A and B are shown apart, each in its own frame.
Chain A
Amino acid sequence: MTYLLLFSVFVVATCGLVYELITGALASYLLGDSVTQFSTIIGTYLFAMGVGSYFSKFFTRNLLNVFIEIEMIIGLIGGFSAAFLFLSYEYVVSFRFILYSVIFIIGCFVGLEIPLLMRILKDRFEFKDLVSKIFTYDYIGALLASISFPLLLVPHLGLVRSSLLFGIFNVSVALVTIIVFKTEIKSEGFLRFKAIATLVLLVLAFGYSEKLVSFLEVQNYRERIVFKKTTAYQKIVLTQTSGEMKLFLNGNLQFSSRDEYRYHESLVHVGLSRLQSPKKVLILGGGDGLAVREVLKYPSVQKILLVDLDSQMTDLFKTNSILTELNKNSLNDPKVEVLNEDAFVWVKNNKDLFDFVIVDFPDPSQFALGKLYSKTFYGYLTSTIDADGLIAVQSTSPYVAKNSFQIIVNTLNDVALYTKPYHVYVPSFGEWGYVLAAKAPMETSETNLALPAGLQFISTEMVPYLFQFSKDLIGDSKEVNRLNNQILVRTFEQEWEPFSHHEN
């Protein structure tokens, strides 16, 4: 029986350290700057333990009962701490206050444990043995926790599940103590009921942890979520960390405010600056208005039609002040018309002609999206431009997915379009590709581009180099993406698989 108590020292020591590590990791995960987070979390935690130790002297009777109650409280608070913190991060303004409160409370209770145990065991050992035994088990527990945390817990269970698991351990210690010492404790029946109820709660949460985790989305985003909305078609998530804003659609990064100018300048200006006073521009996808912002830099443009399926997306970028600052309020410009329709349906029914067409769809990661890169779609797309018109297509990464990139080129060629692929480096995305397509052959050594003033990335001198591809960016696929082979989606899946962080 005595050794059972010593074993519980070991367990509570492990649990205590795990909560500390979980909270530290979670704080660096959500707030960044891990040195600061770990340092302040550990400091707070140790201080709180001291506070707990101090208060232990006020408990004078029924020490076993108190110990059991404390185990249950730690199990409950510690067990749900990670889930609770993730949740409050999204919904609470002063997240840091909650974070330090939680770690302080856990620390206080953990601080109570050892002094109480020492007093419970004081009559069963000599003082020198007692101290030696208790601290031996305490530090072994700490070692186990600190090794298993990075090697087993985080990679296999993740933070939410790890904390629940150790909550279960804490409450189990309480339950076992109740059963073994049932003659020495008061109101054993009620205590046991509470312990079992807490245990059931934690086990249930652990059982449903997959749902819990996907609800909290802790897997997907490493930054602070400032906006989250699930529309009929996609999940829109906007995150922000110290001055950088990122947009995710269905967990895939669409842009980072830090380098999106590289992506959008390349998408728009490489093609558009080749045209003699372009007037009408069509943008398919691109509901963030960032491509529109670039197009508006051409005074000759009189009309921009943006076709994006999701009205909630375009509304967000029309109304949110941080976002309208980013897109220079482009979607509210009188020259801009926003149509919320499926691009395929719209293009199929369209009779209008445009000088420049921008195709800015999400990557072909699903069969439905693959249709927007099919020969049939491109067939309809050709009727949006006349003999002098140009089309620019965002075409995933030729570094990660060179054959996917090649298939897009092949498919455009298959509907009798001439193509000029080009690529740029966007730090958030890596090496990124586009294809310029037209009904007549194009020259890429042009030096008389009509680029607007004030660009940050594209310049006349560098544009010809964008059309040069190093050997590792050239795929050899001869396939054409048809609706009945969806070879692009299949190739894309294969090529991106090793870079699976891209998938949600």
Chain B
Amino acid sequence: MKTDRREFLKYGLITSSVFFGGIYGVKQFKKFNKHTIGYTGQWVNQSDRGHQLREAFKQTPTASIKIPTLIVGGGMTGLLTGYYLKHAGFDNFKILEMSSIAGGNSLYGQNEVSKFPWGAHYIPLPNAENRQLLEFFKDMGLAFSKSPNGVLEFNEEFLCQDPQERLFIKGEWQESILPMKGITKDDEDQLKRFHDLVNDYKFKKGSDGKFVFNIPLMESSQDPKFLKLDDVTFTGFLKEQGFASNVVSWYMNYCTLDDYGMGTDTVSAWGGLHYFCSRRPLGEYDDHKIMTWPEGNGWILQKLTEYLKDHFQTNHAVMKIQPLENGRVRSRVFNFDTKELAECESEQLIYSGPQFLAPYLFDDKKNLPNVSSDDYYSWVIANVTVKLKPEEFQNLHWDNVRFNSSSLGYVHARHQELRGRFDGTTVLTLYWPLYDKDLTATEIRKKISGLGWDDWAPQVEAELEAMHPGVASSIQSMDIKIYGHAMIGPRVGRIHSVFQQPWKAKKKQNIYFAHTDNSGMSLFEEAHYWGHKVAQEVIKNG
């Protein structure tokens, strides 16, 4: 059989997504022993699945199975869909996850020092009107009803402990990420003006009576007057508003990189403002409060996978999805363990994988969400185990950022640990979005495709050294993971497509899309929204 260009691209994409998608937990780690660097580390990426999948596409099914409700993909949204199905007593479903462990961007790791995140690592407190998410918080033990009238108290153990954030600027640390040290009067004025603008938008409502910016995103106003903000870049908007200060630009760019993995030159003004304006104070809690755990959102992941343990299987890829005339959905399921391919029939199918892959996994390509792989930028995450000097350890904040760095700084994994004394060892999780305003996401992926641990470790080390001179000698190990298609972000124009509700485009064929890609923003709150929403729809139909 000859492989044509299209087919080559298909395998290439899936292979690279599996490769870069970073499937943790596969016992295929490479150990590195460097003489130049006094520590070892793991390159936490899996490389042999693409080839197997490619074989699977050519195989003929040898079995046939029935999964009444099939959820494809065990990332956060897929698991939450399952959670709400089971919660409602709807038991006849299965979640199939292609990699060896479920969790997607909420994966975590663990060593003898601490648990640590391999991706999403915190959840901001929900807005007061996000009742569904607040209920979920209660179910997870993250919040309690303080009184019969429903006033909520969040579990102090999981609220980010003080001190929360600091910034390394002009050779020193300052509290808060907003630059304050050594900035000019003009910078200060512009920051103040931006702050006012944010406060204005935060409580502004559109002609439809909805907040201009809200979470879940679908609850935002669709007033065209504000949706126009999706037509320009955030940089363009800031320029037009007269924000020219380098300090302001750095801060904005830092924030959009932090949430979306893309800078202000790529993110739309709507997306950029959404970051700042979509969260409002909740009772006594200000809008800066977040919940976090040593293992990041892996904490939620563990609870969900425990709850759903009879409902999900890893090492199972679903492909060739095809709606049938009789309203059922046919697909093929490949088992990586047995190498068996089965034909599967379902009453309903929920596609919970990244949407740029949909065209390759669906045989019926009509009405698929219009998402491009250029909507996803790449990330590097390094988990560095260090033993710090007492005074350095004592001054750690949860989030530690360096001004004018291309990395996002690091998070201190043991920050939330409930103990009174530490011996100075901890894991620092360094986040590094690979963004370049002059390159598309695809071009960036091409650029980094051959790079490995040897290439990244010195960069990670240099970044830590810039903040903590001499720290390199206290590094005990460094594990690095790269996400090729880390997550979707609101590039210019994306929010317009979100409001066209592509998630139910194939509803008539009993196929739904449940993923944060539906929102164009990779946030836990969005995963929760879609998990809940799609589950309700499935129950109604089932």
Among B157, B163, B394, B419: residue with most chain A CB under 10 A: B419
Contact of A342 among B162, B289, B390, B421 (CB under 8 A): B421
List the A side residues contacting B394 at CB < 8 Å.
Answer: 366-368
B162 and A348 within 8 A (CB): no
Q: Is the CB of A319 closer than 8 A to any CB of chain B?
A: no
Contacts of B162 in A (CB 8 A): 367, 482-487, 490
CB distance from A289 to the nearest CB of B (A): 19
- Give the B interface residue count (CB, 8 A): 18
Contact A486 B163, beta carbon cutoff 8 Å: yes
Q: Are A371 and B419 interface neighbours, CB within 8 A?
A: yes
CB contact list, A331-383 vs B, under 8 A = 342-345, 348, 361, 366-369, 371-372, 374-377
CB distance from B172 to the nearest CB of A (A): 18
**CB-based nearest A residue for B162:** A486
Across the interface, do B418 and A371 meet the contact criterion of CB distance under 8 Å?
A: yes
A367-B162, A367-B394, A484-B161 known; A233 vs B156 contact (CB < 8 Å): no
Q: Given A250, A371, A375, A485, which contacts B420 in the complex, CB threshold below 8 Å?
A: A371
What is the bound-complex CA distance between A50 and B156, given in angstroms?
73
**A486 CA to B159 CA, complexed, in Å:** 12
Complex interface: chain B residues within 8 A of A277 (CB) = none
Closest to B416 in A: A483
| Bound Cα distance from A367 to B419, whole angstroms | 11
Q: Chain A's nearest CB lies how many Å from the CB of B364?
A: 50
Inside 8 A of A366's CB, which chain B residues have their CB? Answer: 394
Residues of A within 8 A of B420 (CB): 309, 342-344, 361, 368-369, 371-372
Is the C-beta of B32 less than 8 angstroms from some C-beta in chain A? Answer: no
A344 and B418 form a contact (CB under 8 A)? yes
Q: How far is the CB of B253 from chain A (nearest CB, A)?
A: 28
Q: Which residues of B contact A36 (CB under 8 A)?
A: none
**A484's contact among B160, B421, B423, by CB below 8 Å, is which?**
B160
Cβ of B422 < 8 Å from any Cβ of A? yes
Minimum CB distance partner of A232 in chain B = B423
Within 8 A of A (CB), among B158-188: 159-164
Within 8 A of A (CB), among B371-427: 390, 394, 418-424
Contacts of B421 in A (CB 8 A): 233-234, 309-310, 342, 368-369
Chain A residues 228-276 with CB under 8 Å of chain B are: 232-234, 250
Closest to A284 in B: B420
Q: How far is the CA of A345 from the CA of B418 in the complex (A)?
A: 7
Closest to A230 in B: B390
Smallest CB–CB gap between B305 and chain A, Å? 24
Nearest CB in chain B: distance from A360 CB, A: 12
Query: Which residues of A sit under 8 angstroms from B423, Cβ to Cβ?
Result: 232-233
Across-interface contacts of A250 in B (CB, < 8 A): 390
Closest to B394 in A: A366
A-contacting residues, B117-161, CB 8 Å? 156-157, 159-161
**Which residues of chain A from 449 to 504 have a CB within 8 Å of any chain B CB?**
482-487, 490
Contact with A along B224-268 (1 / 0, CB 8 A): 000000000000000000000000000000000000000000000
| Contact of A482 with B156 in the complex, beta carbons under 8 Å | yes
Q: Is B163 a contact partner of A376 (Cβ separation < 8 A)?
A: no
Known: A233-B421, A309-B421, A343-B420. A367 touches B156 (CB 8 A): no
* A486/B161 in contact, CB under 8 A: yes
Q: Which residue, B390, B421, B424, has most C-beta atoms of chain A within 10 A? A: B421
Q: Is the CB of A484 within 8 A of B159?
A: yes
- Nearest B residue to A361 via CB reads B420
Interface centre among B156, B163, B424 (most CB of A within 10 A): B156
Chain A residues, CB < 8 A from B422: 233, 368
The interface residues of chain A lying within 8 Å CB-to-CB of B289 are 484
Least distance between B424 CB and chain A CB atoms (Å): 8
Chain B residue with minimal CB distance to A481?
Answer: B162
How far is A483 from B424 in the complex, measured between Cα atoms in Å? 19
Query: Judging by beta carbons under 8 Å apart, are B156 and A374 in contact?
Result: yes
Q: Which residue of A lies closest to B160 (CB)?
A: A484
Considering only CB atoms, which chain B residue lies closest to A486 in the complex? Answer: B162
Which one of A348, A368, A484 lies within 8 Å of B156 (CB-CB)?
Answer: A484
Q: How far is the CA of A368 from the CA of B164 in the complex (A)?
A: 13
Which residue of chain A has its CB nearest to the CB of B159? A484
The answer for the CA separation of A494 and B236 in the assembled complex, in Å, is 44
Against B, the Cβ 8 Å flags (1 = close, 0 = not) of A304-327 are 000001100000000000000000
CA–CA, A344 to B163, complex, Å?
A: 19
Cα–Cα distance between A377 and B394 once the two chains are bound (Å): 19
A contact residues around B424 at 8 Å (CB): 232
Taking the nearest CB of chain B, how far is it from the CB of A220, in angstroms? 14
Tell me whether B419 and A368 are in contact (CB under 8 A).
yes
| Bound: A294/B423 CA distance, A | 31
Q: Which A positions have Cβ atoms within 8 angstroms of B?
A: 232-234, 250, 309-310, 342-345, 348, 361, 366-369, 371-372, 374-377, 482-487, 490
- 23 pairs, CB–CB < 8 Å, chain A vs chain B: A232-B424, A233-B422, A233-B423, A309-B421, A342-B419, A342-B421, A343-B420, A348-B418, A361-B420, A367-B161, A367-B394, A368-B394, A368-B419, A371-B161, A371-B418, A371-B420, A376-B156, A377-B418, A482-B156, A483-B161, A484-B164, A485-B162, A486-B161
- Report the 10 A-B pairs with minimum CB-CB distance, sorted nearest first: A486-B162, A372-B420, A232-B423, A484-B159, A342-B419, A483-B161, A233-B421, A344-B419, A376-B156, A366-B394
Given A233-B421, A376-B418, A483-B159; 7 other pairs, CB 8 A cutoff = A345-B418, A348-B418, A367-B394, A371-B418, A376-B156, A482-B156, A482-B159
Q: Which residues of B contact A (CB under 8 A)?
A: 156-157, 159-164, 289, 390, 394, 418-424
